[in-house]
Structure 1
Amino acid sequence: MIRKLSLILVLALASCGPKLASKQDVSIAGMVPRLTLSMQDATTGQAISAADLRGKVTLLYFGYTNCPDVCPNTLYNVDQILKLLGPAAQQVQFLFVTVDPDRDNLAVLKQYTALFGPEFIGLRGTPNQLAQLARRYRVVFSVTHHPYTVTHSAGIFVFDPQGKPQFVISGLDGLKPDLTGIAQDIGHLVKTDDPT
């Protein structure tokens, strides 16, 4: 009974949001806070905050570089989505927040995200920064050292150029994700200079 009520509530909330092209995208507009973070950018070594990210659509993802399947499949599919966006992809940035900062130092993160393209930015925070960010967006993760095991949520949070939450993309680690529909949903958020 509780499962049915939870499902009904989720579907009702999702139906209140904007119409999205992909069934893999679930509206979170008004349900989670604006984009706020403070972490170290693996590309530059400098601190990065939400203010530095304004003006572009931001995709926020939590993962780790030693992930055997979910993370590389997800990032590969995001790269394919960006290719579908064409020149508009220059207005999109993908933030890869490591949930395993003990192993994912800045050099490792920089090398890993560079495999996917310049739009991919590796972020590393202190344990406190990571915990705060995960709590803010209700992301679940755990790291066990003996044996080495990492688990994490696999959704991608999508924020508009002003940092407002729009939707979560799920299932990009699967076999047949709706890349075209997801690209359309992201494309609607991209600012363009074209007045039409």
Structure 2
Amino acid sequence: MAVAHDCFEPNSPMPFPFFTARAQAASSPASARRTRFLRFAAACAAAAALAGCTPRGEPWRLANVTGHLPDLTFSLTGEDGRPIDASAFRGRAALVYFGYTHCPDVCPETMARLMRVLALLSPQARSEVRILFVSVDPARDTPAAMRDYVGAFDAEHAYGLTGSERQIESLAKRYRVAYQMEKRDPNGSYEVTHSSAVYVFDAQGRARLLATDQDSPDAIAADLRRIIVNRS
């Protein structure tokens, strides 16, 4: 479904949180069906929220959230175990995704899709982008776990961030990200229901766009190029 995304009035309320996706074990047909249903429902919710919008000028291919979300600000723990804040990533566009390393399908699929986005960019444009993978499962996602997980995709352009439960909760609330730990199974394992959107911030840390799993790598890359070129 094609939707014109460049359409939010500066002072209009945003229909957040847009998207939640339950990461399910692929081995269960019922779980797989539920995952597909939730993704479809998220896409429908986005389409409904954006229906009737009219683009101004050259439309963005992703949802334009400029002026509706705060600048990128956080105090978390980096892959090296040291405190880190958003200023470490200023000067580059940032793709921010909330997930967790034990996620069986949605998170690795999203990271793989973001790798395809990077591959579509020129080497120069790629150097202007960082992917920030923020854990919603800080109890299990240690700095080392985040480093290994993110590094398996792209150790140069992707960076894992974790922190205390309070820090993660505060950051998630800041960007209206929904997540919830599910009931533990008999082995003590659990899954986390979490938002599946990717937030795009420009080099100044301003929230600009929001991508869903319905947005193609081509669409994300096209808008990202515009973000990089228009740095001011």
Give the TM-score of the pair, scaled to structure 2: 0.71
> How far is 1:18 from its partner?
6.4
> How far is 1:145 from its partner?
4.9
Match of 1:59 in 2: 95
> How far is 1:190 from its partner?
1.4
1:14-163 paired onto structure 2 within 5 Å: 15=55, 19-20=59-60, 22=61, 25-42=62-79, 44-87=80-123, 88-117=125-154, 118-147=156-185, 148-163=190-205
SS at match of 2:223: helix
Match of 1:182 in 2: 220
Residues 13, 41 of structure 1: CA spacing in aligned structure 2 closer, same or farther, 3 A cutoff? farther
Q: Give unmatched runs, 5+ long, in structure 2.
A: 1-45
CA distance in 2, matches of 1:17, 1:52: 33
Percent of pairs with identical residues = 36
* Residues 127-154 of structure 1, C-alpha deviations (whole Å, 9 max, x = no match): 1110110000000001135221211000
Give the TM-score of the pair, scaled to structure 1: 0.84
Match of 2:31 in 1: none
Q: 8 Å contact 1:59–1:92 — kept in the other structure?
A: yes
- The amino acid that maps onto 1:185 is D
Larger strand share, 1 or 2? 1
RMSD: 2.3
CA distance in 2, matches of 1:77, 1:119: 14
Aligned residues: 180
> How far is 1:178 from its partner?
1.8
The answer to whether the aligner puts 1:164 opposite 2:206 as a matched pair is yes
CA distance in 2, matches of 1:162, 1:14: 27
- The amino acid that maps onto 1:159 is F
Q: Which has the higher contact order (CA 8 A, sep 6+)?
A: 1
SS at match of 1:108: helix
> How far is 1:105 from its partner?
0.8
